[in-house]
Amino acid sequence: SQQGEEDPQALSIQEGENATMNCSYKTSINNLQWYRQNSGRGLVHLILIRSNEREKHSGRLRVTLDTSKKSSSLLITASRAADTASYFCATESSGTYKYIFGTGTRLKVLA
Amino acid sequence: NAGVTQTPKFQVLKTGQSMTLQCAQDMNHNSMYWYRQDPGMGLRLIYYSASEGTTDKGEVPNGYNVSRLNKREFSLRLESAAPSQTSVYFCASSEYGTGGYEQYFGPGTRLTVT
Protein backbone atom coordinates (compact mmCIF):
# COMPACT_ATOMS: atom_id res chain seq x y z
CA SER A 1 0.00 0.00 0.00
CA GLN A 2 1.12 3.56 -0.60
CA GLN A 3 2.87 5.21 2.34
CA GLY A 4 2.36 8.77 1.20
CA GLU A 5 -0.81 10.41 0.07
CA GLU A 6 -0.58 13.79 -1.62
CA ASP A 7 -3.27 16.38 -1.45
CA PRO A 8 -4.68 17.83 -3.62
CA GLN A 9 -4.56 15.31 -6.45
CA ALA A 10 -4.61 18.15 -8.97
CA LEU A 11 -3.99 21.88 -8.73
CA SER A 12 -4.35 24.59 -11.35
CA ILE A 13 -3.01 28.11 -10.69
CA GLN A 14 -1.97 31.24 -12.55
CA GLU A 15 1.65 32.06 -13.20
CA GLY A 16 3.06 34.08 -10.32
CA GLU A 17 0.83 32.50 -7.69
CA ASN A 18 2.08 30.17 -4.98
CA ALA A 19 1.36 26.45 -5.06
CA THR A 20 1.05 24.35 -1.93
CA MET A 21 0.79 20.59 -1.88
CA ASN A 22 0.65 18.27 1.08
CA CYS A 23 1.85 14.77 1.85
CA SER A 24 0.70 12.51 4.65
CA TYR A 25 2.38 9.27 5.64
CA LYS A 26 1.71 6.43 8.03
CA THR A 27 4.85 5.21 9.78
CA SER A 28 7.94 6.68 11.41
CA ILE A 29 10.40 8.00 8.88
CA ASN A 30 14.09 8.85 8.65
CA ASN A 31 13.58 11.48 6.01
CA LEU A 32 11.17 12.69 3.35
CA GLN A 33 12.00 13.77 -0.16
CA TRP A 34 10.07 15.60 -2.85
CA TYR A 35 10.43 14.76 -6.52
CA ARG A 36 9.10 16.28 -9.75
CA GLN A 37 8.03 14.35 -12.84
CA ASN A 38 7.47 15.97 -16.21
CA SER A 39 5.13 14.24 -18.66
CA GLY A 40 5.86 10.64 -17.70
CA ARG A 41 9.62 11.08 -17.69
CA GLY A 42 11.87 9.96 -14.89
CA LEU A 43 11.59 11.68 -11.56
CA VAL A 44 13.94 14.47 -10.55
CA HIS A 45 14.90 15.11 -6.94
CA LEU A 46 13.90 18.51 -5.53
CA ILE A 47 14.59 18.60 -1.81
CA LEU A 48 15.13 16.39 1.22
CA ILE A 49 14.09 17.06 4.81
CA ARG A 50 15.24 14.88 7.69
CA SER A 51 13.03 13.77 10.55
CA ASN A 52 14.76 16.16 12.98
CA GLU A 53 14.18 19.18 10.73
CA ARG A 54 11.02 21.25 10.60
CA GLU A 55 11.57 23.48 7.60
CA LYS A 56 13.91 23.68 4.65
CA HIS A 57 14.34 26.06 1.73
CA SER A 58 15.81 25.68 -1.72
CA GLY A 59 15.36 28.55 -4.15
CA ARG A 60 11.59 28.98 -4.65
CA LEU A 61 10.83 25.79 -2.72
CA ARG A 62 9.92 25.58 0.95
CA VAL A 63 9.29 22.26 2.64
CA THR A 64 7.91 21.72 6.11
CA LEU A 65 7.72 18.54 8.11
CA ASP A 66 5.47 17.83 11.08
CA THR A 67 6.37 14.40 12.44
CA SER A 68 3.66 14.56 15.12
CA LYS A 69 1.04 14.84 12.38
CA LYS A 70 2.98 12.65 9.95
CA SER A 71 2.68 15.26 7.25
CA SER A 72 4.78 17.47 5.01
CA SER A 73 4.03 20.35 2.70
CA LEU A 74 5.79 21.67 -0.38
CA LEU A 75 5.38 25.34 -1.26
CA ILE A 76 6.45 26.65 -4.66
CA THR A 77 6.51 30.43 -4.66
CA ALA A 78 6.03 32.67 -7.71
CA SER A 79 5.16 29.71 -9.90
CA ARG A 80 6.11 29.56 -13.58
CA ALA A 81 4.65 27.66 -16.52
CA ALA A 82 7.77 25.47 -16.41
CA ASP A 83 6.70 24.26 -12.93
CA THR A 84 3.84 22.35 -14.58
CA ALA A 85 4.51 18.75 -13.56
CA SER A 86 3.52 16.05 -11.09
CA TYR A 87 5.04 16.25 -7.63
CA PHE A 88 5.63 13.24 -5.40
CA CYS A 89 6.72 12.81 -1.84
CA ALA A 90 8.84 9.82 -0.92
CA THR A 91 9.49 8.57 2.58
CA GLU A 92 12.31 6.44 3.91
CA SER A 93 11.00 4.48 6.85
CA SER A 94 13.18 3.89 9.87
CA GLY A 95 15.19 0.70 9.57
CA THR A 96 14.54 0.05 5.90
CA TYR A 97 16.33 0.72 2.63
CA LYS A 98 13.10 1.40 0.83
CA TYR A 99 11.55 4.61 -0.36
CA ILE A 100 7.78 4.65 -0.61
CA PHE A 101 6.27 7.15 -3.02
CA GLY A 102 2.95 8.88 -2.70
CA THR A 103 0.30 9.16 -5.38
CA GLY A 104 1.34 12.63 -6.53
CA THR A 105 -0.11 16.09 -7.10
CA ARG A 106 -0.55 17.20 -10.70
CA LEU A 107 0.25 20.90 -10.88
CA LYS A 108 -0.72 23.01 -13.87
CA VAL A 109 0.56 26.58 -14.04
CA LEU A 110 -1.31 28.72 -16.53
CA ALA A 111 0.61 31.45 -18.37
CA ASN B 1 28.09 11.10 -17.49
CA ALA B 2 25.02 9.32 -18.83
CA GLY B 3 23.53 8.88 -15.35
CA VAL B 4 20.98 6.06 -15.33
CA THR B 5 20.22 4.40 -18.65
CA GLN B 6 17.45 1.94 -19.43
CA THR B 7 16.82 -0.30 -22.41
CA PRO B 8 14.57 -0.71 -24.21
CA LYS B 9 12.50 2.50 -24.20
CA PHE B 10 9.39 0.78 -25.52
CA GLN B 11 8.32 -2.85 -25.68
CA VAL B 12 5.18 -4.74 -26.66
CA LEU B 13 4.85 -8.31 -25.46
CA LYS B 14 2.22 -10.98 -25.84
CA THR B 15 0.85 -12.70 -22.76
CA GLY B 16 3.24 -15.43 -21.66
CA GLN B 17 6.34 -14.00 -23.33
CA SER B 18 9.40 -13.19 -21.28
CA MET B 19 11.81 -10.29 -21.40
CA THR B 20 14.54 -8.56 -19.45
CA LEU B 21 14.72 -4.85 -18.80
CA GLN B 22 18.24 -3.54 -18.52
CA CYS B 23 19.46 -0.74 -16.29
CA ALA B 24 22.93 0.69 -15.84
CA GLN B 25 24.34 3.60 -13.85
CA ASP B 26 27.73 5.28 -14.14
CA MET B 27 27.72 7.18 -10.84
CA ASN B 28 29.33 4.42 -8.75
CA HIS B 29 26.16 4.16 -6.67
CA ASN B 30 25.71 1.31 -4.24
CA SER B 31 21.92 1.03 -4.27
CA MET B 32 19.61 0.42 -7.20
CA TYR B 33 15.84 0.12 -7.55
CA TRP B 34 13.09 -0.97 -9.90
CA TYR B 35 9.71 0.76 -9.80
CA ARG B 36 6.55 0.53 -11.83
CA GLN B 37 4.18 3.42 -12.44
CA ASP B 38 0.61 2.86 -13.54
CA PRO B 39 -1.50 5.68 -15.03
CA GLY B 40 -2.30 8.37 -12.49
CA MET B 41 -0.40 6.55 -9.78
CA GLY B 42 2.77 7.03 -7.86
CA LEU B 43 5.71 4.70 -8.12
CA ARG B 44 5.58 1.27 -6.52
CA LEU B 45 8.79 -0.47 -5.58
CA ILE B 46 9.24 -3.87 -7.23
CA TYR B 47 12.73 -4.87 -6.07
CA TYR B 48 15.77 -3.11 -4.79
CA SER B 49 19.44 -3.84 -4.28
CA ALA B 50 20.96 -2.10 -1.29
CA SER B 51 24.45 -3.03 -2.42
CA GLU B 52 26.21 -5.22 -4.96
CA GLY B 53 25.39 -8.85 -4.30
CA THR B 54 22.12 -8.24 -2.45
CA THR B 55 18.53 -7.95 -3.64
CA ASP B 56 15.27 -7.64 -1.73
CA LYS B 57 11.58 -7.53 -2.49
CA GLY B 58 9.63 -4.31 -2.54
CA GLU B 59 5.88 -3.73 -2.49
CA VAL B 60 4.94 -5.60 -5.69
CA PRO B 61 7.52 -8.31 -6.49
CA ASN B 62 5.19 -11.03 -7.80
CA GLY B 63 5.84 -11.95 -11.41
CA TYR B 64 9.32 -10.38 -11.47
CA ASN B 65 12.90 -11.42 -10.83
CA VAL B 66 16.02 -9.29 -10.62
CA SER B 67 19.76 -9.66 -10.98
CA ARG B 68 22.40 -7.29 -9.68
CA LEU B 69 24.97 -8.23 -12.27
CA ASN B 70 27.67 -5.96 -10.89
CA LYS B 71 27.81 -2.57 -9.22
CA ARG B 72 26.70 -0.80 -12.41
CA GLU B 73 23.90 -3.03 -13.66
CA PHE B 74 20.55 -4.14 -12.27
CA SER B 75 18.17 -6.05 -14.54
CA LEU B 76 14.48 -6.86 -14.16
CA ARG B 77 13.03 -10.01 -15.72
CA LEU B 78 9.43 -10.83 -16.51
CA GLU B 79 9.29 -14.61 -16.89
CA SER B 80 5.72 -14.87 -18.19
CA ALA B 81 4.23 -11.49 -18.97
CA ALA B 82 0.62 -10.73 -18.06
CA PRO B 83 -1.59 -7.79 -19.11
CA SER B 84 -1.50 -6.59 -15.47
CA GLN B 85 2.20 -5.89 -15.98
CA THR B 86 1.47 -3.23 -18.57
CA SER B 87 3.12 -0.20 -17.03
CA VAL B 88 6.03 2.21 -17.19
CA TYR B 89 9.11 0.82 -15.48
CA PHE B 90 11.70 3.07 -13.91
CA CYS B 91 15.13 2.16 -12.68
CA ALA B 92 16.84 4.37 -10.10
CA SER B 93 20.08 4.47 -8.18
CA SER B 94 21.38 6.21 -5.09
CA GLU B 95 24.74 6.43 -3.39
CA TYR B 96 23.36 4.53 -0.43
CA GLY B 97 19.94 3.06 0.23
CA THR B 98 19.47 4.57 3.64
CA GLY B 99 20.43 7.87 5.22
CA GLY B 100 18.70 10.27 2.91
CA TYR B 101 20.46 10.02 -0.41
CA GLU B 102 18.56 11.22 -3.44
CA GLN B 103 17.60 8.77 -6.11
CA TYR B 104 18.50 9.32 -9.74
CA PHE B 105 16.02 7.97 -12.23
CA GLY B 106 16.32 6.59 -15.72
CA PRO B 107 13.97 7.69 -18.53
CA GLY B 108 11.70 4.66 -18.17
CA THR B 109 10.57 1.68 -20.25
CA ARG B 110 7.00 1.69 -21.52
CA LEU B 111 5.79 -1.90 -21.57
CA THR B 112 2.51 -3.07 -23.07
CA VAL B 113 1.38 -6.67 -22.63
CA THR B 114 -1.42 -7.76 -24.96
Are A43 and B44 an interchain contact pair (Cβ–Cβ within 8 Å)?
no
User: Which residues, in sequence order, are CB contacts of B14 under 8 Å at separation 6+?
Assistant: B81, B113, B114
Decide which of B100 and A85 is more confident.
Answer: A85
pLDDT at A1 over 60: no
Are A42 and B35 an interchain contact pair (Cβ–Cβ within 8 Å)?
no
pLDDT tens digits, one per residue of B56-94: 999 999 999 999 989 999 999 999 999 999 999 999 999
Query: What pLDDT is attached to residue A21?
Result: 96
pLDDT at B42 over 90: no
- In chain A, the residue whose alpha carbon lies closest to the alpha carbon of B106 is A42
Which chain A residues touch B if contact means CB-CB below 8 Å? 1-2, 4, 30-31, 33, 35, 40-45, 48, 50, 88, 90, 92, 96-104
Strand partners, A49: A32
Which residue from B74, B71, B4 is spatially nearest to B34, judged by alpha carbons?
B74
pLDDT at A2 over 80: no
Query: What pLDDT is attached to residue A92?
Result: 86
Give the DSSP letter of residue B81: -
Q: Please give the average per-residue pLDDT across B17-26, as a whole number.
A: 98
- Could you give the CA distance from residue A27 to residue A90 in angstroms, rounded to a whole number? 12
Of A50, A97, A103, nearest to B42 by CB-CB distance is A103
Are A30 and B100 an interchain contact pair (Cβ–Cβ within 8 Å)?
yes
- Residue A100: pLDDT band (50, 70, 90) is confident
Query: What pLDDT is attached to residue B64?
Result: 98
Are A97 and B97 an interchain contact pair (Cβ–Cβ within 8 Å)?
yes
- Optimal mutation site among B98, B101, B104, B112, interface A, most CBs of chain A within 10 A: B98
Contact between A63 and A74 (Cβ < 8 Å)? yes
- Residue B100: pLDDT band (50, 70, 90) is confident
- Could you give the CA distance from residue A71 to residue B107 in angstroms, rounded to a whole number? 29
User: Which residues, in sequence order, are CB contacts of B38 under 8 Å at separation 6+?
Assistant: B44, B87, B88
